[in-house]
Amino acid sequence: MSPQTRRATQADVARLAGVSQTTVSMVLTGTGAAQRRVSDAVRERVLRAIEVTGYAANPAAQRLAGGRTSIVGVYTYESVFPTSASDFYHPFLEGVENEAERTGVDLLMFTSMSAGTGRRLVSSGGVGRLRLADGCVLLGRHSYPEDLAELLRQDFPFAFVGRREAPGGAVPWAGAAYAPATEQVTDHLLALGHRRIVLINEFTGHESIEDRAKGYRVAMARAGLQPVSLDEPDLTSGELLDNLRTAGVTAAVVSSDLAAPLRRAALARGLSVPGDLSIARLGDPETVETEDVDWTGFLIPRREMGAEALRVVLRQLTPLDGDDNLQARIPCTFVPGSTVSAQAADAPAITGKA
Amino acid sequence: MSPQTRRATQADVARLAGVSQTTVSMVLTGTGAAQRRVSDAVRERVLRAIEVTGYAANPAAQRLAGGRTSIVGVYTYESVFPTSASDFYHPFLEGVENEAERTGVDLLMFTSMSAGTGRRLVSSGGVGRLRLADGCVLLGRHSYPEDLAELLRQDFPFAFVGRREAPGGAVPWAGAAYAPATEQVTDHLLALGHRRIVLINEFTGHESIEDRAKGYRVAMARAGLQPVSLDEPDLTSGELLDNLRTAGVTAAVVSSDLAAPLRRAALARGLSVPGDLSIARLGDPETVETEDVDWTGFLIPRREMGAEALRVVLRQLTPLDGDDNLQARIPCTFVPGSTVSAQAADAPAITGKA
DNA sequence: CTGAAAGCGCTTACAG
DNA sequence: CTGAAAGCGCTTACAG
């Protein structure tokens, strides 16, 4: 309607309200003490002028002048929407988006720096692009120590979804509390009478794997038992199973990706799960499962991890309250399931060879 | 390593290269003629200095100074990741993201302005926030004429996914070519010998509904037949079916959401589809289907629509080439299916009451 | 071919 | 309680 096609600026508002542009800014974003310095009468006039002009802040200018934009970057190390990758990213992003909506921040999704494989944030000028945002949530399957170190060095607020470590400082993250969850699962087996309980973990140096091992060891130690680990990465599930039987193992605590293969190997050898071998799973896998098994174990709180990661970023932006914990562990949910059963205390279920 | 924690600016680069800051800017983004004005020797020095300093442009400053950020906003009228809504938004967003990755733009997802229902872009200061981006892709189930009119008025580059109209100018969009697709489906039924073909459409004023009706009328007119429409919105599928039978209809061309109910009603009355009634579907519904029916009809090219919408935005940013079409119709894919069969020319399939 | 200068629209000391 | 001024890091006329 109005012929004016240019967007209103603070200067326009100021002119209409008969005050200085500084005052308009103060009314809008004056921090703490500053905000209070405007008289009610003036504030009223400014507010009215804002309404009349339809003024809305220019985020680029805000950002450049050192203010906040309420934009948080989301950097994923692969693209998100193609269905292949979405199994992994999706639950996390649901959490991030929910929390973003709740707290009123917009999400800047970085997808442009792919350049094929080994896509790195630092080298591709990505860190620079991030600066449009107040902070950034990072999301990827692996570890990216150089990226994280660079972010730390630049003192840029960020959080990784999942525990990560990097040289040069404490990485902020929101991860699953794998240690207590694994401890609980192991305790559950112990309470069922199992004594020969083995941990079967992946053989990466990944932080989350270490956490699971720790929880297992704690539970075993408290029960006065010797932790047993089968760290031969090259074993097939079948060979692994044979080793378990030789060792008289009655229960296995297994990382999420290895549980199904182990169960299949057991069934293939005519064994019953949980009759002959109890299997508990340490986390639900990211891919949709083909078999319909009612696993005993715990669920990874992916949505909560995403939401908390955003909160960890936000916490760095307003370090007002006492809550300055930048490494958040989210509890996992224990699921009773039916791949585990009771075991007479001293009777090894698996004896000799078949 | 280096103690410097501040990010490098063009001024830093300039100092190191022994040139002016203007020259650095020219090397990086000089448009056309300007770019050419820098001598090779100087360009070399600047480029080297950029590498040494690890300079990356500050997008906020770029944007404020009137430059491009290679950021395109994506405004969805509902949240995206919660699974409830993702059925609708997902395929479109896949297309947008793919194209963004291909063309090297980042996506700014606007999620913050929900404010419950009736969430509008204009009133919530959303248009202002958009200005961080070079342009914007809009995505929603309904029509939002006020928002679109405001965007047009402000001359802000955007594109809607799906055909839309608004007062104040031509809305840029990327939509499905419903008219020719519906025409093709109708022709298919005509070729099979059907003469009494009815169009069953939703009763909204939605643009895409109009397109379908147009395609149907064109095909019928060419065959010298009278188009038949049953525009009684309050009819149940069963009553609708009874009307069809009374009218001696042998084939129905049905919008995506009404096809399944109509088929169920037919089966419930002991009729065979396609034996007694052929049903062709105008588009695949957005929700996952419960019944496994091999529908005859066409598929909505949702991913391509998303990708093209981004391209429509980009086209407005660089109107160099001759391709200035801002209303793109993407062809739909015809699917033969098995809910349609041949019909003897003059023998009405449905006669009398059951 | 190169540079000094204005300006984009904000925030934040610094004066009154 | 309020305002004039500097500055954030760029782009783009405008001079040389």
Identify the three-state secondary structure at position A146.
helix
Structure tokens at A208: 């989350």
More confident residue, A71 or A353: A71
List chain B pLDDT tens, one digit each, 354 residues: 333 457 788 999 999 999 989 999 888 876 655 565 778 888 889 999 988 888 888 888 888 887 777 889 998 887 666 665 567 788 888 899 888 888 888 888 886 454 444 455 555 555 667 777 888 999 988 888 888 988 888 778 899 999 999 998 999 999 999 999 999 999 999 999 999 999 998 877 778 888 999 999 999 999 999 898 776 667 788 888 888 888 889 999 999 888 999 999 999 999 999 999 999 999 998 877 778 899 999 999 999 999 999 999 999 887 666 667 899 999 999 999 999 999 865 554 444 343
- Is A343 inside a domain boundary? no
Structure tokens at B279: 């049903």
* CATH, residue A322: 3.40.50.2300
What confidence tens digit (pLDDT) does each residue in A120-175 have? 555 555 566 777 788 899 998 888 888 898 888 877 889 999 999 999 899 999 99
B75 and B35 both lie in a single domain: no
- Is B161 inside a domain boundary? yes
Q: For residue B113, which phi and psi values (nearest 5 degrees)? A: -100, 20
What confidence tens digit (pLDDT) does each residue in A179-198 have? 999 999 999 999 999 999 99
* CATH, residue A36: 1.10.260
Report the pLDDT value the prediction gives residue B337, as an integer from 0 to 100: 93
DSSP state of B48: H
- Is A43 inside a domain boundary? yes
A161, HSE (Cβ side, Cα atoms, 13 Å): 29
- Is B294 inside a domain boundary? yes
- Is A25 inside a domain boundary? yes
B116 and B160 both lie in a single domain: yes
CA-wise closest residue to B282 among B176, B203, B206, B194: B176
- Is A217 inside a domain boundary? yes
B282 and B185 both lie in a single domain: yes
Of A106, A114, A153, the CB nearest to B110: A106
- Is A340 inside a domain boundary? no
B20 and B50 both lie in a single domain: yes
Report the pLDDT value the prediction gives residue B166, as an integer from 0 to 100: 92
Report the pLDDT value the prediction gives residue B213, as an integer from 0 to 100: 93
Identify the three-state secondary structure at position B281.
strand
Per the listing, tokens 């997808």 go with A111
Identify the three-state secondary structure at position A69.
coil
- Is B3 inside a domain boundary? no
| Nucleotide nearest the Cα atom of B13 (by C1') | D9
B88 and B150 both lie in a single domain: yes
What confidence tens digit (pLDDT) does each residue in B207-219 have? 888 899 999 999 9
Report the pLDDT value the prediction gives residue A53, as an integer from 0 to 100: 86
Number of structural domains found in chain B:
3
B189 and B138 both lie in a single domain: no
B84 and B151 both lie in a single domain: yes
- List, chain by chain, residues whose CB lies under 7 Å from nucleic acid strand D: A 19-23, 26, 36-39, 41-42, 61, 64-66; B 6-7, 9-11, 21-22, 25-26, 28-31, 34, 55, 57-58, 61-62, 64-67
The CA–C1' separation of B8 and D6, in angstroms, is 21
B310 and B227 both lie in a single domain: no
B107 and A106 within 8 Å at the Cβ level: the answer is no
| Nucleotide nearest the Cα atom of A64 (by C1') | D8
Whether A244 has a pLDDT exceeding 90, the answer reads: no
Report the pLDDT value the prediction gives residue A320, as an integer from 0 to 100: 59
C-alpha–C-alpha distance, residues A56 and A66, integer Å: 17
More confident residue, A23 or A33: A23
Report the pLDDT value the prediction gives residue A313, as an integer from 0 to 100: 93
Identify the three-state secondary structure at position A212.
helix
Cis peptide before B274 (omega within 30 of 0): yes
A278 and A211 both lie in a single domain: yes
A199 and A274 both lie in a single domain: yes
A49 and A103 both lie in a single domain: no
Task: Please give the helix or strand (H or E) that residue B87 lies within, else none.
Answer: helix B83-103
Q: Residues 7 to 66 of B: which have CB under 8 A from any A CB?
A: 7, 55-61, 63-64
State the best of A2, A106, A127, A155 to mutate against chain B, taking most chain B CBs within 10 Å.
A106
A164 and A308 both lie in a single domain: yes
What confidence tens digit (pLDDT) does each residue in A197-229 have? 999 988 777 788 889 999 999 999 999 998 987
**What is the residue range of A27's domain?**
10-57
Q: Please compute Rg for chain A using Cα positions.
A: 27
C-alpha–C-alpha distance, residues B277 and B237, integer Å: 14
What confidence tens digit (pLDDT) does each residue in A306-327 have? 999 999 999 988 765 666 789 9
Whether A59 has a pLDDT exceeding 70, the answer reads: yes
